[in-house]
Structure 1
Amino acid sequence: MGKARLCFIGAGFHASTNIYPAVIGAGAEIQAIATRDINRSKAALQRFGSSGIPYDNYKTMLEQEDCDGVVVVAQAADHPSLVLDCIQAGKHVFVDKPLGWNAEEAAQIADAAEAAGVVLMVGFMKRYAPVYVKLKELIEGGSLGAARSFQAKFLVDSTLFCKSGEDFMKLAAVHMVDLVRYLFGEAVQVTGFANDNGEFISHTISLKFENGVVGSVYFAGMTAWTRESEGITVTFDHGFATADEVNTLIIHKSENHAELPWKSLAESDTVLTPSASAMSGGYRDLYLRGFVGEIVHFMDCCKEGHTPYSSGRDNVKTMELCDRILTALQ
């Protein structure tokens, strides 16, 4: 079977830095690119070594191109209308988050995709990052017993693109909101506190899930965090696991000791990390952050007709939780 043939709407900074290179890493073909400027579309095709067709009108592209799927990476406010046009054209769609500014808008788009019978996937790449995939396997596998609680953080300088707490929640922190849903299920209780100052954001949130897991999330979006940082520690019945940034998973399994364990070297951790090589070039980060994994998953869903893990319908629940958190922070 040949390469998956993907068409694209958008060629901005995020698309050019992460999505197009991830598509190449996933082994897909860039069949066509549509932006508002034909020269920009041509430049993007040239930059990524594609002999595909440039467009300055995405509707024309949707009409003329027979492809396996369309990737939409534009401004968040434009995503709903762009995705709905793709659905109307009968195209499978991958769209960068957020899809819909609230749960109601997200539900309307999910309804349209289901009615049309097309694949609709939202780009929550953390679900496909190896460190969080391994953590999910650990939670579901039960080798450390049941998960009981967690602490998570997401800290970034978001001041250039987020001017309010709602902007931050839906343009940046939404990834971590989606991740805790992916790991623990649906939340039944949400409380929180905010200490914001304009575009300087500081949130702490407590959640309880249907399965009994409780946890806290710390969000900060301000210039203090030019060194972006994220992580999550999960406490189980018989140990704990820490996903440190996106490249290390530390697993500690509790042991029974005849004597006090601090008297000797009795404790051990399993530390999972990727290898490091000059041969990885610039692709290593794209794999570890989940960008390549999400594109591979989208291509598989288009080929097999499967529902993506981060489907349009599942996205409704993530946006609902964002809305609930914002209400709790008021």
Structure 2
Amino acid sequence: MKRNNIAFIGAGFQATTNIFPAVIEAGINITALATRNSDSAKAALTRLGSNGKAYGDYKLMLQQETVDSVVIVAQPKDQYEIALGCLELGKNVFVEKPLGWNAAQATLINKAAIANNVKVMVGFMKRFAPTYLKIKELIDTKELGEVRSFYLNFCVDGTPFCPDEEAFIKLAAIHVLDLAIYLFGDIDDVEVMNNSTGALVNLVVAVKAKSGVVGSFNLSSMSAWSRESENLTVTFDDGFVQVEEINKVIIHRSNKQTGKSFASLTESDELHTASLTPMSGSVRDLYLRGFVGELAHFKNIQADTNTIETNGAENILTMALCDLILSKI
């Protein structure tokens, strides 16, 4: 497997739990790693079994290392400036969400990437999750006809890091908002019902995409949801599809014949799942949630002229949707 040399910035919880293990699966070589001090960077590289060089200053790392691409998994409040600096140095950039805190900052990031002829990718990993790729395939092929509506349920305990609706939308729920744009197109019509108190967030968001697809989100951030839940139902002309907890897809094909549908076996359900065996080890989750897919995609852009998924322009749409929802609360 060809290994690509990429520098990394950040080694916190998200990096060590999801990004670093996915990096190994994607065949990426960590040339150098910068954190707030070189000792923590060195410790992270040791855990990864990497021979990369440790730095306590990412600016020094970028001065001394010859790399074309940088992966940034820093604190959300720091990522915008770090990413902007990397783009201005002519580096391809992968950044964990959110990239910018609003649509205005996302626009500036996109302009910087274009101006410096480099690529920027945001870590919206759900676009690479196998269950949602299956949904995308059904939409694009029109196998079940046109898509008409959707319902997306996302409930999680985000209270430790989301003190209010804005933080929850931009640090957690942003993933499913981006997913809806990926599947159904740009969303510009929004209504919100809110029953939140501080960090206890409960929102129902009704939307209409420019494509005509209508849908709703049930978004909740409470300790009640310490067991995270995520489910999607999509209604087509000739059936519906349900995604259960990212690891199961049920495709229902409706009866197209006249007469009594209950009198014959004319309807069908297909069940798609990933195998669950001891052989899957700990990486099954990284594949099913899309982490490996997104990093493999970023690795390949260094030699690929195709448009990168979750690029700067797509990020503007996602941040604009976040801003629109918050304006209705």
Q: Calculate the TM-score normalised by the size of structure 1.
A: 0.97
Partner of 1:77: 77
Whether the aligned pair in 2 keeps the contact of 1:4 and 1:68 (CA below 8 Å) is: no
Whether the aligned pair in 1 keeps the contact of 2:2 and 2:27 (CA below 8 Å) is: no
Partner of 2:285: 285
Whether the aligned pair in 2 keeps the contact of 1:22 and 1:292 (CA below 8 Å) is: yes
Deviations 1:65-115 (A, max 9, x none): 112411000110000111011112211100000011000011111111110
Q: Aligned partners of 1:266 and 1:183: how far apart in 2?
A: 28
**Identity level (%):** 50
Partner of 1:111: 111
Q: Aligned partners of 2:48 and 2:20: how far apart in 1?
A: 7
Whether 1:92 aligns to 2:92 is: yes
Q: Aligned partners of 2:195 and 2:13: how far apart in 1?
A: 30
Matched length: 329
Q: Aligned partners of 1:324 and 1:297: how far apart in 2?
A: 29
**Matched ranges for 1:145-164 at <5 A:** 145-164=145-164
Partner of 2:66: 66
1:32 match: secondary structure: strand
Partner of 1:35: 35
Q: CA deviation at 1:156?
A: 0.3
Q: CA deviation at 1:219?
A: 0.1
Q: Aligned partners of 2:237 and 2:307: how far apart in 1?
A: 33
Please, which moves more after superposition, 267-276 or 151-160?
267-276
**Matched ranges for 1:204-243 at <5 A:** 204-243=204-243
List runs of 5+ in structure 2 lacking aligned partners. Answer: none
Q: CA deviation at 1:258?
A: 6.0
CA-based RMSD of the aligned residues comes to 1.3
Q: CA deviation at 1:262?
A: 3.1
Whether 1:322 aligns to 2:316 is: no
Partner of 2:2: 2
2:74 match: secondary structure: coil
Q: Aligned partners of 1:266 and 1:92: how far apart in 2?
A: 51
1:150 match: secondary structure: strand
Q: Aligned partners of 1:322 and 1:216: how far apart in 2?
A: 14
List runs of 5+ in structure 1 lacking aligned partners. Answer: none
Q: Aligned partners of 1:2 and 1:202: how far apart in 2?
A: 46
Q: CA deviation at 1:2?
A: 3.4
Q: Aligned partners of 2:173 and 2:74: how far apart in 1?
A: 18
Partner of 2:297: 297
Q: CA deviation at 1:21?
A: 0.4
Q: Aligned partners of 1:84 and 1:317: how far apart in 2?
A: 18
| Letter of the structure 2 residue corresponding to residue 245 of structure 1 | E
Whether 1:273 aligns to 2:273 is: yes
Whether the aligned pair in 1 keeps the contact of 2:162 and 2:199 (CA below 8 Å) is: yes
